Amino acid sequence: MDIEAEIRALQLDSAEDDKGTTIPEDAKPEEVEMKEKVEEVEMTDKVEKEGRKDEVDGKSQPVQAEPKVKDKEVAALEDAEVPDEMESQNKRHLNVVFIGHVDAGKSTTGGQILFLSGQVDDRTIQKYEKEAKDKSRESWYMAYIMDTNEEERVKGKTVEVGRAHFETETTRFTILDAPGHKSYVPNMISGASQADVGVLVISARKGEFETGYERGGQTREHVQLAKTLGVTKLLVVVNKMDDHTVNWSKERYDEIESKMIPFLRSSGYNVKKDVLFLPISGLVGTNMKTRVDKSTCPWWSGPCLFEALDSIEVPLRDPKGPFRMPIIDKFKDMGTVVMGKVESGSICEGESLLVMPNKAQVKVLAVYCDENKVRRAGPGENLRVRLSGVEEEDILAGFVLTSIVKTIPAVTEFTAQLQILELLENAIFTAGYKAVLHIHSVVEECEIVKLLQQIDPKTKKPMKKKVLFVKNGAVIVCRMQVNNMICIEKFSDFPQLGRFTLRTEDFVLRGKQIVVNLIRSCWR
Ligand code: GTP
Ligand code: MG
């Protein structure tokens, strides 16, 4: 394998942000189908298998592997008989993930959206108000719309990704409400990997913005993860503007915006093209469905949240590409049912496909999009696919349902370009480094086998000197290894299946992480 050739190719792919800084992102445009549907979002059962314990409020508790509404969804799936074609739905569909530091107001804002769009009636709100009061969590009643399980309501913290739908004039939205607590980052990853658009919720309340933005705060970690997971557009909502420490202060809003912009840029977002800031109060519902009144906020003349969501444009994906659907989960239901988001190509009932890396040839018995049975579905759709030819036990989250003719490579070793974004203070990055690799629905231990070359950030060319270790901010090409076969693609071929994140338990516990991007070549 010619590393030099790979590195040369790599130079051609580099993208630049609007300040001319190198960003570890797509030369190739992101491709997203406009009419999208989503299925259940949940953490992978890997987390459960790993037996990971999580800390909330200093207490240890297991992460739950069951999706919030799986039972309901499964029932819907069994009942579904309508052979709807996707084309019959003329509104475009977007998956929006709500991310940000714990208690920023993600669930409250999500709940308020549902209330304002008429999905929740006054009586239910009154019921939630009473329930929240009984739990001494008065102000959490709006969050109860999204936080549906008892544990979440008692603790006031989202654990599993909540899911809900609402519509505007032009678009059907699926909201994915991610947890902000650092113990639940794997759940957040699962939610973000199914979204194209992110709403980054930031609390403007005194002290809260600061904690979230600190190194180790989830504002930073979520932004970096979202970028590598394919969230191409971000709405940054500066929330809690009604709070008495904020009082719709322009100074506070400007301060937050001016601190966030350089950080977003360094995380790979093109701030001019892909990011929009706006102030809201999720709790009161201000500047959400209608623009904020001048008497409340004289200085804001930009859009409200609904307008901003409506205006987001995501480019179309190619439905004719080779079929790729990373599997997020599987279960038994009159055969084997796999769930996942189609990253490329289309799927048809009756078609033969492969499950990789175990090379099981399967037949597509049925395809479900939300509760609807469909004959075919295109890229961007979140699906449940019933298969014959493979046992449920033989499939793991992270496997990929793929076309037979143009199948996906399965590897244990590959060459990648990494940009090291956050290392512990004074730490160095070298061969032998172990971390957890997150790539599409794969979560796998990996090791850096060899550092091959360092890239000069100015010239973007490989540096001549031999590289044994690097520090924060470095861009390097290195060889990586995993114990089990994983299915990955070259970034230049399939950005969604070629970009990844590395984390280590230690770093996450201490609230630090490194994020790396771009698989440049695979060893086949
Ligand atoms: P996690 O799910 O744990 O990450 O938190 P979250 O981001 O979903 O926050 P949540 O919606 O649960 O709200 C946390 C607290 O902030 C609650 O007490 C809310 O009432 C409060 N809050 C949320 N939005 C606003 C707002 O716009 N104004 C004010 N004053 N308080 C808010
Ligand atoms: Mg929440």
84-141, pLDDT tens digit by residue? 444 335 677 788 999 999 999 999 999 999 999 999 999 999 999 999 999 989 899 9
- Decide whether any atom of ligand 1 lies within 6 Å of the 283 Cβ: yes
Which residue has a Cα nearest atom 30 of ligand 1? 243
Given a contact cutoff of 8 angstroms between Cβ atoms, the answer to whether 60 and 316 are in contact is no
pLDDT category of residue 82 using cuts at 50, 70 and 90: very low
**In Å, how far are 157, 173, 199, 452, 464 from 521, measured between CA atoms?**
40, 35, 32, 13, 21
pLDDT category of residue 500 using cuts at 50, 70 and 90: confident
Of ligand 1's atoms, which has the minimum distance to the CA of residue 280? Answer: 27
- Decide whether any atom of ligand 1 lies within 6 Å of the 212 Cβ: no
Res 158 pLDDT > 50 = yes
The gap between the terminal CA atoms of the chain, to the nearest Å, is 10
d(Cα 521, Cα 524) in Å, to the nearest integer? 9
Q: How far does Cα 117 stand from its chain's mean position?
A: 24
**pLDDT the model gives residue 268:** 82
Joined together, the tokens standing for residue 187 give 């759940």
d(Cα 470, Cα 454) in Å, to the nearest integer? 8
**Helices and strands (DSSP H and E) totals, the chain:** 14, 28
Res 329 pLDDT > 90 = no
- Decide whether any atom of ligand 1 lies within 6 Å of the 106 Cβ: yes
**pLDDT the model gives residue 187:** 84
- Average the pLDDT over 173-198 and give the result: 87
**pLDDT the model gives residue 188:** 87
Mean pLDDT, the chain, integer: 79
* Between 256 and 74, residue with greater pLDDT: 256
Q: Are strands 429-430 and 372-374 parallel, antiparallel or unpaired?
A: unpaired
d(Cα 470, Cα 387) in Å, to the nearest integer? 46
Res 233 pLDDT > 80 = yes
Reduced to 3 states (helix: H, G, I; strand: E, B; else coil), residue 330 is strand
pLDDT category of residue 507 using cuts at 50, 70 and 90: very low
- Please choose, from the candidates 110, 215, 220, 117, the residue with its C-alpha nearest in 3D space to the C-alpha of residue 163: 110
Lowest mean per-residue pLDDT among 2-6, 67-71, 131-135, 421-425? 67-71
Res 66 pLDDT > 50 = no
d(Cα 20, Cα 258) in Å, to the nearest integer? 18
- Average the pLDDT over 9-25 and give the result: 35
- Decide whether any atom of ligand 1 lies within 6 Å of the 107 Cβ: yes
pLDDT category of residue 53 using cuts at 50, 70 and 90: very low
**pLDDT the model gives residue 521:** 53
- Decide whether any atom of ligand 1 lies within 6 Å of the 239 Cβ: yes
pLDDT category of residue 46 using cuts at 50, 70 and 90: very low
**pLDDT the model gives residue 220:** 86
Lowest mean per-residue pLDDT among 117-131, 289-303, 381-395, 469-483? 469-483
**pLDDT the model gives residue 90:** 60
Res 20 pLDDT > 80 = no
CA of 523 to the centre of ligand 1 (A): 46
